[in-house]
Amino acid sequence: MQEEVRQLIEELRHAVTRPWAVMEVCGGQTHAIASLGLEELLPPGLRLIHGPGCPVCVTAVELIDQAVELSLRPGVVLCSYGDMMRVPGSRGDLFSAKAGGGNVFLMYSPLEAVAYAGSHPDTEVVFFAVGFETTAPATALALQQARMLGYANFSVLCAHVLVPPALEWLMDQDEGRPDAFLAPGHVCAVTGEMDYVRLAARYRTPMVVTGFEAPDLLRGILMCVRQLEAGEYVVRNAYGRYVKPGGNRAAQERMNEVFEPEDRRWRGLGLIPGGGMRLRREWNDMDAVLRFECGKGRPGADEASGCLAGQVLRGLIRPGECPFFGSSCTPLAPLGAPMVSGEGACAAYYHYKRS
Amino acid sequence: MQEEVRQLIEELRHAVTRPWAVMEVCGGQTHAIASLGLEELLPPGLRLIHGPGCPVCVTAVELIDQAVELSLRPGVVLCSYGDMMRVPGSRGDLFSAKAGGGNVFLMYSPLEAVAYAGSHPDTEVVFFAVGFETTAPATALALQQARMLGYANFSVLCAHVLVPPALEWLMDQDEGRPDAFLAPGHVCAVTGEMDYVRLAARYRTPMVVTGFEAPDLLRGILMCVRQLEAGEYVVRNAYGRYVKPGGNRAAQERMNEVFEPEDRRWRGLGLIPGGGMRLRREWNDMDAVLRFECGKGRPGADEASGCLAGQVLRGLIRPGECPFFGSSCTPLAPLGAPMVSGEGACAAYYHYKRS
Amino acid sequence: MFECPVPEPVSDRIQMAHGGGGRLMNELIRSVFLSAFGCPSGGVQNDAAVLEIPPGRLAMTTDSFVVQPLEFPGGSIGSLAVHGTVNDLAMSGAEPLYLTAGFILEEGLPLEVLARVAQDMAAAARAAGVRIVTGDTKVVERGKGDGIYINTAGVGIVRHGLEISPSSVRPGDSVLLSGDLGRHGMTIMSLRAGLSFGDGLESDSAPLHESVAAVIRAGIPVHCLRDVTRGGLTATLSEIAESAGLTVKLNEMSIPVREDVRAACGLLGLDPLQVACEGRYLAVLPREHEEEALNLMRGCGVSAGACVIGRVEELGTAPLLMTGLLGVERVLTMPSGMQLPRIC
Amino acid sequence: MFECPVPEPVSDRIQMAHGGGGRLMNELIRSVFLSAFGCPSGGVQNDAAVLEIPPGRLAMTTDSFVVQPLEFPGGSIGSLAVHGTVNDLAMSGAEPLYLTAGFILEEGLPLEVLARVAQDMAAAARAAGVRIVTGDTKVVERGKGDGIYINTAGVGIVRHGLEISPSSVRPGDSVLLSGDLGRHGMTIMSLRAGLSFGDGLESDSAPLHESVAAVIRAGIPVHCLRDVTRGGLTATLSEIAESAGLTVKLNEMSIPVREDVRAACGLLGLDPLQVACEGRYLAVLPREHEEEALNLMRGCGVSAGACVIGRVEELGTAPLLMTGLLGVERVLTMPSGMQLPRIC
Amino acid sequence: MCLAVPGKIVSVNETDPLFRLGVVDFGGVTREVNLACVPEAVPGDYVIVHVGMALSVLDEETALQTRREMREIVENTDPL
Amino acid sequence: MCLAVPGKIVSVNETDPLFRLGVVDFGGVTREVNLACVPEAVPGDYVIVHVGMALSVLDEETALQTRREMREIVENTDPL
Ligand code: SF4
Ligand code: SF4
Ligand SMILES: [Mg+2]
Ligand SMILES: [Mg+2]
Ligand SMILES: [Mg+2]
Ligand SMILES: [Mg+2]
Ligand SMILES: [Mg+2]
Ligand SMILES: [Mg+2]
Ligand SMILES: [Mg+2]
Ligand SMILES: [Mg+2]
Ligand SMILES: [Mg+2]
Ligand SMILES: [Mg+2]
């Protein structure tokens, strides 16, 4: 074990005097924590709650249904990140849409989809844009590129979501409020710390911007614990090498030019005021839902499955406490989204902690 | 050997007193004659000349080039009879177009192409319509069906040719005029005998409408010889069970509604006045050449190969007398069209008479 | 709510992940292949099967099968994949023993079709007395396959000492054909061309090794064997004659073709002598054994229609000659590519 | 005159007729395959190869290869098709002898690509000391293939008396890995994802039978062998552990992965333990032979990087456990399908 | 040119004249054939079919008559 | 969420701001990365890359400072 990690663990042992629950918001952190086995190294009393920060897990069923529908339209190619392929909608996932005749292309970047649209002018190229504030600037850039190049066959199915409204929603619930948050490092690299400063003050809850390596995570946790033990509740930055207080202005400007907030259903949680982003009116011509007059989807379809994702994502139960975990819900046949993504809390537990 | 055939051969032996050259116009007859070995059974002095009656062999290179071009256009499917696939244009044949990315579908009937257009409304379906008067009614019917059904994505690349103008052209040449003709049975089933009556009188040359089985062919030949020996020159019908003197009125009407004659280059022969059919003005919207603004092609490209098809098709030389026959010209790598089609005189000789 | 077609449920169709080497693939293998073929020696997951083998020379062959439609009267791509390889082994006079099965599946293939094809394959192997001992599954994206492609490779044991090969053919030999031509090819082509057969024409696909074994066991010094597949009789015999450097003379009237097969060929402009079979073979052997071989062949169901169709002679004007219905001899040339339906 | 693209000349690309069984196919076989592989025993046109075979049990295997791109740093689908089957034979401790080669070619394939792939295949076979003894060629229509699919089946002779199988694995056994993980899979995936490697990462594709033979010849009682292919180390070891009904415990720090491979995996969100190799294998053997086996393996170029990565124990909480970099033990689960690049 | 094959009409599906379809038996094989150009043809008739369309109905009268004519020609001119 | 990986800019292709591209080295692997959101980045800089786009330039000052701060916190609160 690295000396730095050993030392941080030692510090944590000394720092914790009372039970604390710290939520890592970000699914990438959940994944790292589970694969490193970090929880087993934490002092007793210090508990991690795995938050709703996996954009795959929280993408509403109706949006997946729209993606499936679009992929099946003749002449349309739906481009998606690999993460979304196995997430169940109400009528199957994108892999089954593909097997059933849909055109689904895996892409690593929306900019690739723009290039594809340029080389296939007779194909309608729809990019399925999921992700938090980290990912949204690339979508904005893709739309700007496509418009500049005059690619009339490029459009976006916009599923972007915003983190701060979700934290607000969590803190407004009656149960399951964590004592502190690890704020998502890569989101903050774009947005900066302002929203979190506001939330920390309003809910009197410490927040520490945190990265993804073992030392980063431990430092973030330690900086939370220090505040909790000291009765402080401010924003601190444990990932300062990449996150400036003001974030990335250029990225923020691109996002603001293209998107505006809207209320959005988060899968497993429910309607979160201001929790999503839609294209601004000026970009309506590149909004796939409008261009293809997609059906509105059937909200709530996933709740029928019995999946307890809502309670897992709010930290009310651990994945292993869900009665379906590992039996009728596995990565091969997931009942809910958190079992699909490598980042989903249930999948992370399944892969690394079944023992 | 059937008794009927034996008897007909016997009659022929008795009937022939002088050398005669009888041309079977139809490639189907050439094929049957070669595969049966019929020539070896004829009395000495009676010679068969293999005429230009293979629509595949006489289709102009520029039309094949247009078919190739259309198959390579995005969104276009070119439908063709199997016969045309291997016929060389100036830039390869339809098989090489297909291997090089062209969309070429084999069809048995233009009516199948209409059905395909109906089930693929986003595809431009072009039917490559080759053939004599026998085949043209089906093309006419296909156009009528497509118009009635409102299939705006169906069109025709029209390569139809007419037999009587070609016979007239042959008889107007200085050399190679046969003494009598076996008129093509299936063409006459559509057109009737009228044109042939006119030609027989004008050129004082006997013509006998003839079928395709051994007894049919022998009967046709015998009825020619009888006339020649008796100094007669009228039209007789040795295929009366399918050919009425007036032909098939319904088929003629469909053809006349859709097509009108035009001058046409016949491959190997040259420009034959009135030797082809084009779509009438009222059907211009379904004429693929107009719809897709096809290039005009490069007339004369095949002559450059050195192929002596013109002399073979006019009976001036036999295929085996062409210096390329069997060496640089084989069915696998044909120099000229008569080596491609099963009906082409050169291919028929190659397959059955190389010995 | 949506007007577009919606996909079938996940579990009904092959997906890319079925070829990924993980749990989904193992489940496919267990539920479809092992349930059809039984557990191969050495367990599911061994890289290779380890097999006992009797003494003798080893015959080895392979063929890939790409037929459309996948299922047809008289069989499927599954039974064909067994018969094709069993027959290629049989043509060296081998006793077929073990087959491998390699599947290339197209994303979107209905699992029930795959299951039927695998069952067919298993039944054909059982009937032929061979074992499918190892296999492989790959999945390719939709639009990069055609439902199912199957490769089978086979090994058999050669217990006789004959040199069964065109080079053993001698002038004077008789050419025997095990039955009528063209059923398999016309069954397939008719399905595509919308033709129907009155009394239900079926593919002739069948294993030929027992018929061959009957002849060899009787001590008949067979010179050459060849199953009549792609390119039909004309291609098969041309190859033998060309390799042997001799001429084969056929008699058209002695070559059996069903009337309906002949009619279907006429309709599509095809030559029945160039249409593929999957259950017919040619045997070239000394004339003095012709009668005995014919009787032995006729004693087996698959070759009940065996007949003599020609003779071998010293090299004449062409490797393959045929005397036609009017008594005139003509050349048969090796087909160039494949036969296409034609209109003239 | 025409603005549209015009097709390449006939002779440059595969056409449907190349699979028709006629003269065009024979020319393809002669000009491409025979010129690469040499004349198989029994001549081009025999239905099966007849081969001499030494005494012993027979190992038999098959694999189909569907990789894109067809050519990549370190090899091509041709060399891969040889190595894959040679390695599956090697994993039963067999001496690979003969291969079959079944090609499914897509209409439009440039002939020069086919020729290069065939040459590659021939070179790989020569280098591995195996012979390609028989083959088959089918052509499928454009849009029903992906350039070239190759199936190889192989036979080898098993001269040892060991039962090399998961069922022979025992608690206490050592798990040896022949080299670093993930080179083949990341070479392929990087080509598709637009990644380049500074010092020219190549596929690890290589024949493993000589490395295996060195261990077996030394009399080491090998319990189980497995090449690390689809699904990577995780899938391969999960299968062994599950079949054996035991637990394998790995140590993450002892598993070699090149830094650039690890970086490429990080970029695409892939787990290097689930990435395919084509030239690595696992050997499970008694601990007392660990040292000797390691030395023998390191003496062969293909397994110069051999190391011990774990041990077998009685069945614990899961078949496959790994102690991570922070010293915490976690479960490794068999991957479900295939790994996809991901962004979160 | 013009491969055309005779067959016997087994049944007729009367619809729009452009789409008049018959099932035709060609010696044991049947196929759907367009009958738009032989509106007079009924089940039992023989037709000659080319590219999926019937071109002509067999005239048994003429068939017999042809045979008679043939014989006459043959007989009349035999002595030559 | 948001798999993002640090790498070092090897070269920059200056074109239209929307299409500013750099070759980035991620420990031995390189890839083209869009630099539109880090207009200030130059070859030699470290950037963090997500879905093919650079999100942020490594601030070595801050990196060191963070480390210092950390140490302070740790030292200041150790006695508790
Ligand atoms: S284990 Fe499955 S069903 Fe339970 S909460 Fe997680 S995803 Fe939902
Ligand atoms: S043999 Fe070939 S080159 Fe000569 S006339 Fe015939 S087609 Fe032309
Ligand atoms: Mg293996
Ligand atoms: Mg074979
Ligand atoms: Mg075979
Ligand atoms: Mg395999
Ligand atoms: Mg397909
Ligand atoms: Mg064979
Ligand atoms: Mg294998
Ligand atoms: Mg393998
Ligand atoms: Mg073969
Ligand atoms: Mg393809």
| pLDDT over 50 (residue C187) | yes
User: Which other chains touch chain A, taking contact as 3+ CB pairs less than 8 Å apart?
Assistant: B, C, D, F
Q: How many CB atoms lie within 10 A of CB C253?
A: 12
Cα D227–D229–D235 angle (5° rounding)? 95
DSSP-assigned letter for residue D125: H
**Lookup: tokens for A210:** 């945190």
Domain annotation covers residue D54: yes
Predicted pLDDT of residue D5? 33
User: Does residue B46 contact residue B20 with C-beta atoms inside 8 Å?
Assistant: yes
Predicted pLDDT of residue F1? 47
Helix, strand or coil, per DSSP, at residue D177? strand
* Residue D47 burial (10 A CB sphere; 0-12, 13-18, 19+): buried
Q: Which residues of E touch C199 (CB under 8 A)?
A: 28
**DSSP result, A96-118:** HHHHTT--EEE-S-HHHHHHHHH
Cα–Cα dist B321/C316, whole Å: 22
Choose among C47, C57, C232: nearest Cβ to D226.
C47
Q: Which residue has the tokens 């020159």?
A: B233
**Beta-carbon separation of B17 and E80 below 8 A:** yes
Q: How does residue F80 score in pLDDT terms, banded at 50, 70 and 90?
A: very low
Helix, strand or coil, per DSSP, at residue C200? coil
Q: What amino acid occupies position D243?
A: S
**Beta-carbon separation of A72 and C6 below 8 A:** yes
Cα–Cα dist A254/C47, whole Å: 53
Q: Which residues of C touch E3 (CB under 8 A)?
A: 266, 269, 342-344
Q: Measuring CA to CA, which residue among B61, B78, B18, B62 is closest to residue B43?
A: B18
| Range scoring the smallest mean pLDDT among B128-142, C258-272, E61-75 | E61-75
CATH of the domain at C220: 3.90.650.10
pLDDT digits (tens, 9 = 90+) for C197-247: 877 899 999 999 999 999 999 999 999 999 999 999 999 999 999 999 999
Does C257 touch chain D if contact means CB atoms closer than 8 Å?
no
Q: What amino acid occupies position B147?
A: R
Examine the fold and report which residue of D132, D158, D184 is the final residue of a domain before the chain moves on: D158
Q: What amino acid occupies position D317?
A: T
Q: How close, in Å, is residue D32 to chain B by CA atoms?
A: 18
Does F29 touch chain A if contact means CB atoms closer than 8 Å?
no
* Residue D39 burial (10 A CB sphere; 0-12, 13-18, 19+): exposed
Domain annotation covers residue C105: yes
| Cβ-proximal residues to D100 (8 Å cutoff; 6+ apart), any chain | C60, C61, C62, C153, D132, D133, D134, D135, D136, D151, D152, D153, D154
Predicted pLDDT of residue B138? 98
- Residue among A57, A61, A324 to mutate when testing ligand 1 (max atoms within 8 A of CB): A324
Choose among C193, C330, C337: nearest Cβ to B352.
C330
Report the DSSP beta bridge partners of residue E32: E23
Q: Is the CB of A25 under 6 A from ligand 1?
A: no
Cα–Cα dist B306/D344, whole Å: 67
| Cβ-proximal residues to E24 (8 Å cutoff; 6+ apart), any chain | E7, E8, E9, E10, E30, E31, E32, E33, E47, E49, E54
Q: Which residues of C touch A298 (CB under 8 A)?
A: 1
Predicted pLDDT of residue D42? 39
Does E6 touch chain C if contact means CB atoms closer than 8 Å?
no
Q: What is the largest CA-CA distance in chain D?
A: 78
**Lookup: tokens for C181:** 């031509």
Please report which residue ranges of D196-258 form alpha helices under DSSP H. Answer: 209-217, 232-244
Cα D184 to ligand 10 centroid, rounded to whole Å: 14
pLDDT digits (tens, 9 = 90+) for A119-146: 999 899 999 999 999 999 999 999 999 9
Q: How close, in Å, is residue A35 to chain D by CA atoms?
A: 7
Examine the fold and report which residue of C139, C158, C177 is the final residue of a domain before the chain moves on: C158
Cα C104 to ligand 6 centroid, rounded to whole Å: 11
- C299 shares a domain with C226: yes
- C174 shares a domain with C132: no
Cα–Cα dist D46/D52, whole Å: 16
Helix, strand or coil, per DSSP, at residue C312? strand
- D145 shares a domain with D198: no
User: Does residue E27 contact residue B220 with C-beta atoms inside 8 Å?
Assistant: no
Strand A124-131 versus strand A180-184 pairing type? unpaired
| pLDDT over 50 (residue D7) | no
Predicted pLDDT of residue F26? 93
Average pLDDT, chain E: 82
- D273 shares a domain with D204: yes
Q: What amino acid occupies position D242?
A: E
Domain annotation covers residue C3: no
Q: Identify which ligand lies nearest to the alpha carbon of C134.
A: 9
- D173 shares a domain with D317: yes
Q: Which residue has the tokens 């009825």?
A: B223
**Lookup: tokens for B42:** 């004829």
**Lookup: tokens for F9:** 């800019």
Helix, strand or coil, per DSSP, at residue B44? coil
Q: How close, in Å, is residue E65 to chain B by CA atoms?
A: 8
Give the structural domain span for D225: 166-331
Mark out chain B residues that contact chain D at CB-CB < 8 A: 65, 68-69, 72-73, 91-93, 95-102, 295-298, 332
Predicted pLDDT of residue B45? 92
Choose among B73, B97, B296: nearest Cβ to D7.
B97
**In the structure, do chain E and chain F come into contact, i.e. share 3 or more CB pairs under 8 Å?**
no
Q: Which residues of E touch B137 (CB under 8 A)?
A: 37, 53, 55
Strand E5-13 versus strand E21-26 pairing type? antiparallel
Cα–Cα dist C26/C23, whole Å: 5
* Residue B348 burial (10 A CB sphere; 0-12, 13-18, 19+): buried
**Lookup: tokens for A91:** 């009528």
Predicted pLDDT of residue E15? 85
Report the DSSP beta bridge partners of residue C227: C281
| pLDDT over 60 (residue C43) | no
Summary count for chain C: helices (H), strands (E): 9, 15
Domain annotation covers residue D11: no
Q: How close, in Å, is residue B168 to chain C by CA atoms?
A: 23
Q: Identify which ligand lies nearest to the alpha carbon of C64.
A: 11
Does D340 touch chain F if contact means CB atoms closer than 8 Å?
no
**DSSP result, B132-190:** -TTTHHHHHHHHHHHHHHT-TTEEEEEEEB-HHHHHHHHHHSSS---SEEEEEHHHHHH
Q: How many CB atoms lie within 10 A of CB C31?
A: 13
| pLDDT over 70 (residue D87) | yes
- C312 shares a domain with C247: yes
Average pLDDT, chain B: 92
C109: nearest CA in chain A?
A99
Domain annotation covers residue D5: no
Q: Measuring CA to CA, which residue among F27, F38, A175, C100 is closest to residue D98?
A: C100
Predicted pLDDT of residue A51? 87
Atom of ligand 2 nearest to the CA of B322: 4
Choose among D3, D6, D142: nearest Cβ to B91.
D6
**In the structure, do chain D and chain E come into contact, i.e. share 3 or more CB pairs under 8 Å?**
no
Q: How close, in Å, is residue E64 to chain B by CA atoms?
A: 8
Q: How close, in Å, is residue B326 to chain D by CA atoms?
A: 14
Domain annotation covers residue D4: no
**This model's pTM is above 0.90:** yes
Q: How does residue C9 score in pLDDT terms, banded at 50, 70 and 90?
A: very low
- C217 shares a domain with C88: no
Atom of ligand 2 nearest to the CA of B312: 5
- Residue among B87, B339, B354 to mutate when testing ligand 2 (max atoms within 8 A of CB): B339
Q: How does residue E67 score in pLDDT terms, banded at 50, 70 and 90?
A: low
**Beta-carbon separation of C267 and E1 below 8 A:** no
Predicted pLDDT of residue E66? 55
Q: How many CB atoms lie within 10 A of CB F76?
A: 11
Examine the fold and report which residue of C158, C185, C203 is the final residue of a domain before the chain moves on: C158
- Measured by CA distance, the residue closest to atom 8 of ligand 1 is A307
- C176 shares a domain with C77: no
- D264 shares a domain with D248: yes
Q: How does residue C117 score in pLDDT terms, banded at 50, 70 and 90?
A: very high
Average pLDDT, chain C: 92
Q: Which domains does chain A have, with CATH numbers?
A: 1-55+171-237 (3.40.50.11750), 56-162+247-292 (3.40.50.11740)
**Beta-carbon separation of B83 and C321 below 8 A:** no
| Cβ-proximal residues to D244 (8 Å cutoff; 6+ apart), any chain | D166, D167, D169, D224, D312
pLDDT digits (tens, 9 = 90+) for E48-59: 999 999 999 987
- D206 shares a domain with D92: no
Q: Is the CB of B211 under 6 A from ligand 2?
A: no
| Cβ-proximal residues to C215 (8 Å cutoff; 6+ apart), any chain | C222, C283, C285, C293, C296, C297
Domain annotation covers residue C20: yes
Q: How does residue A303 score in pLDDT terms, banded at 50, 70 and 90?
A: low
* Residue D202 burial (10 A CB sphere; 0-12, 13-18, 19+): middle
A·D CB contacts under 8 A: 82
Q: Which domains does chain E have, with CATH numbers?
A: 5-75 (2.30.30.140)
- Measured by CA distance, the residue closest to atom 3 of ligand 1 is A307
**Beta-carbon separation of B342 and C269 below 8 A:** yes
Does D307 touch chain B if contact means CB atoms closer than 8 Å?
no
| Structural domain total, chain C | 2
Q: Is the CB of A189 under 6 A from ligand 1?
A: no
CATH of the domain at C118: 3.30.1330.10
| Cβ-proximal residues to C141 (8 Å cutoff; 6+ apart), any chain | C16, C106, C107, D146
**Lookup: tokens for A1:** 């074990």
User: Does residue D191 contact residue D69 with C-beta atoms inside 8 Å?
Assistant: yes
**In the structure, do chain C and chain F come into contact, i.e. share 3 or more CB pairs under 8 Å?**
no
What integer is the mean pLDDT of D88-103? 97
Q: Is the CB of B247 under 6 A from ligand 2?
A: no
Q: Which residues of C touch A295 (CB under 8 A)?
A: 1-3
DSSP-assigned letter for residue B112: H
| pLDDT over 80 (residue B296) | no
Predicted pLDDT of residue A122? 87
Q: Is the CB of B324 under 6 A from ligand 2?
A: yes
What integer is the mean pLDDT of A181-192? 97
- D306 shares a domain with D191: yes
**Beta-carbon separation of C62 and D19 below 8 A:** no
Cα C187–C189–C192 angle (5° rounding)? 110
- Measured by CA distance, the residue closest to atom 1 of ligand 1 is A325
- Measured by CA distance, the residue closest to atom 7 of ligand 1 is A336
Domain annotation covers residue C176: yes
Q: Is the CB of A312 under 6 A from ligand 1?
A: yes
- D230 shares a domain with D96: no
| Range scoring the smallest mean pLDDT among C4-13, C156-165, E8-17 | C4-13
